[in-house]
Amino acid sequence: MLEKTWRWFGPNDPVVLSDLRQMGVEGVVTSLHHLKPGEVWSAEAINEISQMIDAEGLRWSVVESLPVSEEIKKGSIKAEEHIRAYIESLQNLASCGVDRVCYNFMPVIDWVRTDLAYRDEDGSETMLYDPVTFALFDLYILQRKGAEMDYPEAVQQAAAARFAKMSEAESEALAYNLIIVTQGFINSAVENRSDYIAAFKAALESYHRIGESRFRDNFSRFIRSVIPVAEELHIKMCIHPDDPPFPLLGLPRIASTMDDFDWIFAQAPSFYNGLTFCMGSLGARKANNLLLMVERFAERVHFAHLRNLKHLDGGRFFESGHMDGDLDLVGIIDRLLREQIRRREKGRTDDSIPFRADHGKKILDDFSRSSHPGYPLIGRLKGLSEINGIQQALNYSLTS
């Protein structure tokens, strides 16, 4: 069976560790959320969290994320120092018995949604991405130089019309959601300061001279330095795909397609150079064939994010219930379970791939609890239970 894990945001998370076993959770996915990218994770700091998890009869299954600093991504003068710090953090994690690390290599901005409170037909609340709203943010709020080159005429016109109808408070809320609310609670470099828009623009500008090829070189330097150490320490590194998997704000994106991952794994051809199979991220790009991808990279899937989405017209998509989206959740779970059987046959001990019900819609009591966008308690619990039901049923047929 896949290992049932839960993303826990540390001691300040309103969902407490002692609740998790009641939900059938086996492993915890967390990070040292108070540390910024580039800082060393000391063994003491890791142990503190690890002991809290152990005390509840759970295990720290995956670090999500050990963040890669902007310095490393930009290959700046501090890159080497930050890579050394990253390696030291890996050594400390290994010494505390933590052996799976999720990270991403997205410049400046991690995941992007333009509406954090989209009402689905059933009254639940979820998140949506609308290319027109995003274009409006880029063209009129950020006023990024050259932005108009990135959008088709029709999208630009729709963005202009929508911006003209927006109040100042609405455009501020949009910028705040995109830059702070969705980024602030993960280990991002983003700081909640009064001039956050200017700081964000400066971060974008700092990438001006870094085209895709230099960005790839920077990734390559990072992964070639880290994987030999991860191998020695038996730490499975698993890159998280770009979310959404296409270029934004003129920034390079290098973890979006099958070809990208072929390239990523070729940089350090080791099984420890692995993948977080995030179906919701990959599935936002219609041309990505998820079943093909999960089959192609099966042996190096060290972690799975299972969720679903629905595509709407005009390139919009929203995060649907786990069971009722356009993506083949059952097919993906089937492929992961088959991979586990293959691993067992080969004598591999990592034959229980951790997954988490990724995101969830706000339902029922979620409306009266505080949660980070995408991480309501009940919506996620519903997803976890559904996924678990699917895997029990599939496993029954696969093994009997």
Q: Are 39 and 31 in contact (CB under 8 A)?
A: no
240 catalytic, yes or no?
Answer: yes
**Which of the following is catalytic: 13, 96, 238, 305?**
305
Report d(CA 46, CA 42) in Å as an integer. 6
Q: Which of the ranges 39-47, 104-112, 207-215, 216-224 carries the binding residues for ligand DNO, by CB under 6 A?
A: 104-112
By CB under 6 A, tell whether 376 contacts ligand DNO: no
In the chain, what are the helix, strand and coil shares in percent, each to the nearest 5?
45, 15, 40
**d(Cα 347, Cα 344) in Å, to the nearest integer?**
5
Q: Annotated catalytic, 33?
A: no
Cα(333)–Cα(181) distance, integer angstroms? 31
Residues 6+ apart with CB under 8 A from 103: 65, 66, 67, 68, 237, 238, 239, 240
Query: What are the backbone angles phi and psi of residue 21, rounded to the nearest 5°?
Result: -65, -35
Centroid of chain to Cα 187: 11
107-166 residues near ligand DNO, rule: CB under 6 A: 110-111
Burial of 62-80, coded b for 16+ CB within 10 Å and e otherwise, reads: bbbbbbbbbbbbbbbeebe
Q: Is 322 marked active-site? A: no
Name the token pair of 250.
């003129």
Is residue 103 within the footprint of ligand DNO (CB under 6 A)?
yes
Site string for ligand DNO, 187-226 (x = CB under 6 A): ----------------------------------------
Considering 99, 110, 334, 358, which one is annotated as catalytic?
Answer: 358
The least CB distance from residue 156 to ligand DNO, in Å, is: 29
Residue 372 annotated in active site: no
User: Which one of 84-92, 98-106, 123-131, 149-157 is the stretch in contact with ligand DNO (CB under 6 A)?
Assistant: 98-106
- Min dist CB 252 to ligand DNO, Å, is 16
Which residue, 186 or 226, has its beta carbon nearer to ligand DNO?
A: 186
- Measured from the CB atom, the residue of 158 and 239 that comes closer to ligand DNO is 239
Q: Which of residues 221-250 bind ligand DNO (CB under 6 A)?
A: 240
Check binding of 64 to ligand DNO (CB under 6 A). yes
- Per DSSP, the three-state class of 110 is coil
Binding of residue 374 to ligand DNO (CB under 6 A):
yes
**207/220 Cα distance (integer angstroms):** 17
Nearer to ligand DNO, 186 or 363 (CB): 186
Instruction: Say if CB 60 and CB 50 are below 8 A apart.
Output: yes
For binding to ligand DNO (CB under 6 A), which residues are involved?
Answer: 64-65, 102-104, 110-111, 186, 240, 374
Give catalytic residue positions.
240, 278, 305, 358-359, 375
